[in-house]
Every structure is written in C-alpha cells, then in structure tokens.
Structure 1
Amino acid sequence: MIDSQKGSDTKTGEEQTKGLTDHEILSQAMIFIFAGYETSSSTLSFLAYNLAKNPHVMTKLQEELDTVFPIKAPIQYEALMQMEYLDSVLNESLRLYPIAPRLERVAKKTVEINGIVIPKDCVVMVPTWTLHRDPEIWSDPEEFKPERFSKENKESIDPYTYMPFGAGPRNCIGMRFALIMIKLAMVEILQSFTFSVCDETEIPFEMDSQFLLMPKRPIKLRLAPRSNTPSNTTTTSLKSPNT
C-alpha cells in the first residue's frame, strides 16, 4: 500500500494514476487488524474447543492430514485445499459459532418481498446465530456433526441458511484468506499435538456480549504431544488475542 504512493499522480497520455493517501493506508490497515485478526483467533479457539469435545472427530481429522502430509511433510496450498474432512470440520464449527451472530444491510430502495414492504434506508438484520441453530433447518442443531458438510450433503444446504461470512456481493472480503489461514494453523498444530478437555474447561462456556462472537473467559484446554507422553502434557488457554 505504501508502494502505491510512489510515482502517483503521474500522467500517461489521457490516463492518470493516483496512489493511496496516508489516511487511506491507515484505514485499510485498521480494517485488516480488527476485521481479520481477532475474528480468526476466535474461530480457531472455537474450532479447538469443538475438537477437544469430540475426540473421534479430531482422530479422523488427524488421519486425513497424516495421509495428505505424511511424516509431517511441509504443507502445500493445493493439498491443503483438497482436505475434504478439514473443510467439513471447519464449516461445522462456523455453523455452531458464527463470528458475526447477525448481519445487517441497508435497503437502497423501497422493495416488496412476499407481501412485506421494506422501505428505503431501512436496516434489515439477518440473525445468523438463529439460522445456524434452527431445528427446522438442521437436525440436532446443537450437536457437532461435520458430516453435514460432506461432499455428498453440501449441495443440499440452502446457501441462505448458512452464512458465517455473509452472502452476495458484500460478503466478507477476507473470507478466502481467513479460511486458508485457519486451516493452515490447525493442520500445523494437529500434526504434532492433540486437544482434550481438562478440569478447567468451561462446558458450556459463557459468551461475551459484544457485536462479534467470542468467549467471555479464555477457553482452557489440554494440549498434549501426539506421542501421548503424560510428562509433556500442558494446559493452554484459547481466546481472542487480547488475552
């Protein structure tokens, strides 16, 4: 972004290029930090919590990653994107704990939908949390079941009942980057460690009453080497990065 300022406001024929201002660069940097850092951290915390509570899912996931990256092989982008069970596990975790529990849009013009008139400039709220846990849409909605998002079942899901990143042209601009980052971090961890609940694990944990979904207190789990050596077992706290 800083490099965009170099050679700005130069004319080439009828065209003129213009770099970003200092204010625009600062604004973009703040968005990257607040919109991408804490949300991804909380998503990783929720994912680790779900894996710790469902060891059979974690075992199956580790079997997949051991097949794709044997003997802790370096992680490659193409192979990472082909891990179907990892994708299912992450999608199911985002269903249970969508970082944005509600979405808001402003009507650009007055419109009527199914007999309901939505006036111009009206704020329309989409309750993501409620949609993701609606028993009329999801069987056993409180249960962690990654198979809901298997290759066979994924096509049957109405895209407007599952919106952890929003939907349409104004969905989360960082969605693809966030998913890659979260998958990469989790594979790196699970290659060497396993998660499990401990005496300090709060089940269920209490949510913080903010716009973004996050635990009120750190999620505490046991992190153990995959060799399962008891002497190397430690307890770790997972929460948003301000902890």
Structure 2
Amino acid sequence: MMNACAYLDQVVNETLRFYPIATRLERVCTKDCIMDGMEFKKGDLICFPIYAVHHSLEYYPDPEVFDPDRFSPEKKSKIPQGAFLPFGIGPRNCIGMRFALEEGKLALCHLIHSFRILKCAETPVPLKFTPGVLMLMPDRTSPIRVKLESRI
C-alpha cells in the first residue's frame, strides 16, 4: 500500500510539473538588490516563469516526456530548490497546498477504483492549451474529453 501511495505522489508531482496550474509567479521587490548580476529596484515586479522552468532541459532531462520516476525518492532530492514550484515558494506559497494535494489524491484514488478512464477520439494528443497570463487553460476549440467505464 505504501509503495502505491509513493508512486501516486510521483504521478501527481509529475502532473503538476508537466501541467502547472499557474504558469508564473509574481513578486514585488521589497528592497534594491542584485541577483545573478541582475539589478532590481524596490517596487519592481519580478515574474518567475513556472511553466518554462518546469519544462527546462537545465533541470529536467527530456522535459516533454511524462516521467513520474523523476520524483522517485532517489531522483527527487536532486531537483534543485526553485525548479519545482507548482504551489509557489517561500512564505507566500499556496496556503491550501497540503489540502489540495490530499483532496486531489483522494479523488484520483476514488476515480481509478471506480472507473476505467479512457481518452475520447476528440481529445488531442498532445493536449492543446490557450496561452494565458496566469493559468494553464485547455484550448476551447479542442476540449479534453474522457469516457468513464464502471469497474464496479
């Protein structure tokens, strides 16, 4: 059972890496500073591109391949801090992160236990998304459709 839960964690983390809900983080600089040779002034808006980082070869080999093993205990510890940010980082990260993860995993377990989930012919592969400012949204012209077959 614990191995199954560990693998479920890996699948959920890889899903959040591959399809981050928020595509970027924004923070306002609170004081003048220089980071990595870049100068920031107090009040500057700093945008951190989550989607780009999550799909960067610098941090993830074969970033366009869905691979839950990236988050195995052996490999997860090698992911640099700041390279996996599905819920933000630091003191202002998502307050509902733990709740969202637990509820999502519980819902997924119930779905998988009760149904076979099949892709419909109308669902594009790879999935298509509408370029958004903050959120990754499915393209309205090619919706994600699935068929559920009862297991019970």
Same fold (TM over 0.5): yes
Q: CA deviation at 1:164?
A: 0.6
2:76 is aligned to: 154
2:120 is aligned to: 198
Separation (CA, whole Å) in 1 of partners of 2:59 and 2:131: 26
The counterpart of 2:42, out of the listed 120, 145, 153, is 120
Gaps of 5+ in 1: 1-67, 69-78, 228-243
Amino acid at match of 1:100: A
Paired positions, count: 148
Are 2:59 and 2:80, in contact at CA under 8 Å, matched by a contact in 1? Answer: no
Amino acid at match of 1:161: A
Separation (CA, whole Å) in 2 of partners of 1:95 and 1:188: 23
Q: CA deviation at 1:196?
A: 2.0
Amino acid at match of 2:59: I
1:35 is aligned to: none
SS class of match (2:26): strand
* Structure 2 residue 89 is the aligned partner of structure 1 residue 164: no
2:106 is aligned to: 184
1:216 is aligned to: 139
Gaps of 5+ in 2: none
Q: Which runs of 4+ in 1 moved over 4 A?
A: none
After TM superposition, the structure 1 = structure 2 runs for residues 126-145 of structure 1, keeping only pairs within 5 Å, are 126-145=48-67
Separation (CA, whole Å) in 1 of partners of 2:39 and 2:123: 47
Are 1:202 and 1:220, in contact at CA under 8 Å, matched by a contact in 2? Answer: no
Q: Deviations over 1:76-96 (max 9, x none)?
A: xxx7xx810010000000001
Q: Percent identity?
A: 45
* Structure 2 residue 119 is the aligned partner of structure 1 residue 225: no
Look at both structures and tell me which one has the larger radius of gyration over its CA atoms: 1
Q: CA deviation at 1:206?
A: 2.4
Are 2:17 and 2:54, in contact at CA under 8 Å, matched by a contact in 1? Answer: yes
1:5 is aligned to: none
Amino acid at match of 1:173: I
Are 2:129 and 2:136, in contact at CA under 8 Å, matched by a contact in 1? Answer: yes
